[in-house]
Structure 1
Amino acid sequence: MKPQFRYLDKPALEPVPGCDWADKMVLNPAIIKDPESEEIHMLFRATGPWPQKRREGCHDPYPIFLGYAISRDKGETWEADFSRPALAPALGYEEHELYITDINGNKVRNYANGCVEDPRIFYIGEELYLTVACRPFPPGPYWLSSQQPPVQTRFEYVPDWIFTGHDTDPFIQAARANDTVSVLYRLNLAELKQGNYENAFCYVGPLTEGHVSDNRDVFLFPEQMRIGGTRQYLMLHRPMNVLPFADGDKINKPSIYLAAAESLEDFASPNAVHRLLAYPVFHWEENRVGASWPPLPLGNQEWLVAYHAKKDIHFGYTQSFMILKEQENDFPAVIHRCSERLMFAERDWEMPEDYPTPCLFTTGGIVVGEDLIMSYGAADQKVGISWVNYGELLSYIRQYDKNGHLTGDSRP
């Protein structure tokens, strides 16, 4: 039987007029259950105009922030702190301002200087981490690039000196394109829920190479796996330009990749080994696919991976699921892939406003009791919450083989 998804009948969170950092968009939330209570904690992406940093002749910049919210009733209602961002970009423009102290006390380039977007929260072992897609510099009103005629504002706040910097400097190369680089933070949940935001986030470093490709939808498995004879960390990512990666010339569309590395620092280097996991196959995936939120363990060395796809600006972003199984001394492989889009924009408040594309974009998933609770961005401007019976969902996905075909005589 097809699983029945339940949705809130209104946004869980939406932009707040007059809140300078969140009055335009509030979206793409990550969630994590409190290990000590029934509370669910959320970090959400938000933006608003930032005129105090406006350059003459340019639009207002729109840096992107993370805000914090909490639910005490399994996601039915949310209390958000709109008094200040939980994590804000540094917004420096001079060379000496573009550094941050990392988790080891080193002064390093700050890829989170301009934007911190699309959070995902997950454990690696006993430690809690956060990934965000970051831009070195904020754009202007970036949604104008999706309108007709398009208005490109991505480069309005890239300083002139960046274009005369060293061509071999990876940070300079990423900054020139103002592409996203996914960055890892260690997250202190106790400090976060107490509102001590300045102590809640510790910069670890980049996980992707901005000079190789814009790269989003990045997060790690909670456990290391034996790959190529050694225990390695394993990461999911979705490069926009797949040509530099394994089999990229065969697919040439943004797709889901695995990356293995012996240390977290090795991911943003040639030391990481990449393997194509899944690429667009079904009609609703025509433009791209990407993993949605961190994998959930199912036992028996199996993992649930939620993923999203985009066909075109009219069909929009939709969601489905696959199950992976670990392989002996190798990357895990897809063993079940649902060929049906199971979640997509349907409610009025999920329909596009500033963007032309319908969008239901899940960025968090946790199991509470019998339910899988998912948080998602709607219409690229609001936050939604959905529930589905976890066992029913898994049974449904298992009816499909690795290629999305129904197995035997099973019917959904």
Structure 2
Amino acid sequence: MKPHFRYLNKPALEPVPGCDWAEKMVLNPAIIQDPDTNDIHMLFRATGPWPHKRREGCHDPYPIFLGYAKSADAGETWTADFSRPALAPALGYEEHELYITDIQGNVVRNYANGCVEDPRIFYMEGELYVTVACRPFPPGPYWLPVETRFEYVPDWIFEGNDSDPFIRTARSNDTVTVLYKLNLDELRQGNYEHAFQYVGPVTEGSVSDNRDVFFFPEKMKIAGKMQYLMLHRPMNVLPFDGGEKVGKPSIYVAAAESIEDFASPKATHRLLASPVFDWEENRVGASWPPISLGNQEWLISYHAKKDAQFGYTQSFMIIREQEDDFPAVIHRCSDRLMYAERDWEMPKDYPTPCLFTTGGVVMGEDLIMSYGAADQKIGISWVNFADLLAYIRKFDEKGRIT
């Protein structure tokens, strides 16, 4: 029997009229349980028109921000701070405005200048981090049937130095995933300016648009060395291991000896999972950070898209660590377990039905998941964790019932 998923009967959070940074969309939330209480903390993606930075002859820019919310009742209700963003892009335009001081005190290129999108929160070596998909410059209203991605990319970028990876990334204005260290104490007290420390990019924007990125909490032994491991989903898979064969956006595992090496050729990449089932035809990507199951096994939530009409599906797999090698899939559920069904999850401005999980925490007997709905709102779901795992284990690594 399939596990039973329970859903809120209305959005947990949605756009706020009159809130300039969250008037259009409030979606794709990351969650983490407070280590000292039963509170759940949330960072969510939000956007609205930003006429303060509008250029003549262009649409209003739509920079993307992170907002903060909290639940004290296991996700049933949420209190959000819409007074200001928790993390905002810098929105610089001139060359000298595109730098930031990183966690080491170095002045570096700021890949989070235009947008900070789709957060994921996780622990790594006992410290709390968040990844965000960033664009060098904000787009215009990107849901319109016109190209607005380049409206706020300045002309000097196209005349810049080809050897500069930031310049090459900015020319396409694709997403680069950036890592921040997150101070939960400062976040929950509303001291947002002290809650985030810029670590740096962990994907190469000049190689591929890349998102759905997060790390395993501890290093693993790969090729005789203890290395960090990161899940990611490049849009262009051709530069990566097995990319020519799969040809579609897929889930990869990357390994590197230092965090700085991930956004460089020093990282090694291994294909973990590619589209196999009918409902995965367009792409697959990991959804939120892995949960340890013990015995060197990890639960991976993942999403798939078939097409614009069918929309996004959420399912699950279990992977196992391998001796001196990358982890491998041992169970992969071939059933569509979560997908848009409620009226408020159905398309409005976007044509695609969307239920897109971006956070999961285990509290008591339940796995609590946060998700974006219709690319504009936030939903919450619960499922008995033991029932979910038992069901996933019915399938082998290729999705066949055993």
TM-score range relative to shorter protein? over 0.9
Q: Deviations over 1:157-213 (max 9, x none)?
A: 000100000112110010000000000000000000000000000000000000000
Residue 401 of structure 1 aligns with which residue?
A: 396
* 1:43-58 map, 5 Å: 43-58=43-58
Aligned positions of 1:2-17 closer than 5 A: 2-17=2-17
Name the residue aligned to 1:410.
none
- Secondary structure in 2 matching 1:267: helix
Q: Which residue matches 2:182? A: 187
**Structure 1 position 278, deviation (Å):** 0.2
Q: How many residues of Structure 1 are paired with residues of Structure 2 in the alignment?
A: 402
The Cα of 1:223 is off from its aligned counterpart by 1.0
SS at structure 2 position matched to 1:56: coil
Describe the SS at the equivalent of 2:368.
Answer: strand
Whole-Å separation in 1 of the counterparts to 2:136 and 2:253: 25
Within a 5 Å distance, the mapping from 1:304-315 to structure 2 comes to 304-315=299-310
Aligned counterpart, 1:86: 86
Which residue pairs with 2:19 in the alignment?
19
Aligned-pair identity in percent equals: 81
Determine the structure 1 residue equivalent to 2:111. Answer: 111
Question: Counterparts in 2 of 1:168-247, with a 5 A limit?
Answer: 168-247=163-242
Cα shift at 1:28: 0.0
Specify which of 322, 326, 342 is matched with residue 321 of structure 2: 326
Where structure 1 has 5 or more consecutive residues not aligned to the other structure, the ranges are 145-149, 408-412
Amino acid in structure 2 at the alignment position of 1:314:
Q
The structural deviation recorded for 1:220 is 0.3
Supply the distance in 2 between the matched residues of 1:122 and 1:280 (Cα, whole angstroms): 26
Q: Distance in 2 between matches of 1:255 and 1:68?
A: 30
Report SS of the residue matched to 2:262: helix
Give 1:328 deviation, angstroms: 0.1
Aligned-partner Cα distance in 2 for 1:359–1:327: 34
> Which residue, 269, 284, 288 being the options, matches 1:289?
284
**Aligned-partner SS, 1:294:** strand
Give, in whole Å, the separation in 2 of the partners of 1:73 and 1:119.
22
In 2, Cα distance between the equivalents of 1:229 and 1:167? 36
- 1:321-347 C-alpha deviation (Å, 9 max, x unpaired): 000000000000000000011000000
Q: Secondary structure at the match of 2:187?
A: helix
352, 373, 392: which is aligned to 2:368? 373
C-alpha separation between the residues in 2 aligned to 1:51 and 1:10? 31
Equivalent residues in 2 for 1:382-397 (5 A)?
382-397=377-392
Which blocks of at least 5 consecutive residues in structure 2 are unaligned?
Answer: none
Name the CA distance, whole Å, in 1 between partners of 2:6 and 2:218.
Answer: 31
| Deviation sequence 1:295-326 (CA, Å, 0-9, x none) | 00000000000000000000001100000000
Q: Aligned residue for 1:358?
A: 353
Give, in whole Å, the separation in 1 of the partners of 2:313 and 2:153.
33
Give the match's secondary structure for 1:157: coil
Aligned equivalents of 1:54, 1:105: Cα separation in 2: 32
2 CA distance for matches of 1:176 and 1:35? 42
Query: By how many angstroms is 1:394 displaced?
Result: 0.1
- Under a length normalisation based on structure 2, what TM-score does the superposition of the two structures give? 1.00
2:321 maps to a residue whose letter is E
Query: Cα distance, 1:236 vs. partner?
Result: 0.2
Q: Distance in 2 between matches of 1:120 and 1:143?
A: 23
For 2:333, the aligned partner's letter is C
Offset at 1:390?
Answer: 0.1
Q: Secondary structure of 2:91's partner?
A: coil
Pairing 1:261-276 to 2, within 5 Å after superposition: 261-276=256-271
AA at the equivalent of 1:225: M
1:93-104 equivalences in 2 (<5 Å): 93-104=93-104
- The 1-side partners of 2:398 and 2:184 are apart by 39
Tell me whether 1:157 sits opposite 2:157 in the alignment: no
CA distance in 1, matches of 2:119, 2:141: 20
Partner Cα distance (2:377, 2:338) in 1: 16
Deviation by residue 1:222-253 (Cα, 9 ceiling, x = unmatched): 11100000100000000000000001000110
CA offsets 1:263-305 (integer angstroms, 9 cap, x no match)? 0000000000000000000000000000000000000000000
Q: Counterpart of 2:142?
A: 142
Specify the alignment match of 1:131 in structure 2. Answer: 131
Please list every run of at least 4 consecutive aligned residues from structure 1 whose deviation after the TM superposition is greater than 3 angstroms.
Answer: none
Per the normalisation by structure 1, the TM-score is 0.97
Residue type at the aligned position of 1:91: L
SS at match of 1:11: coil
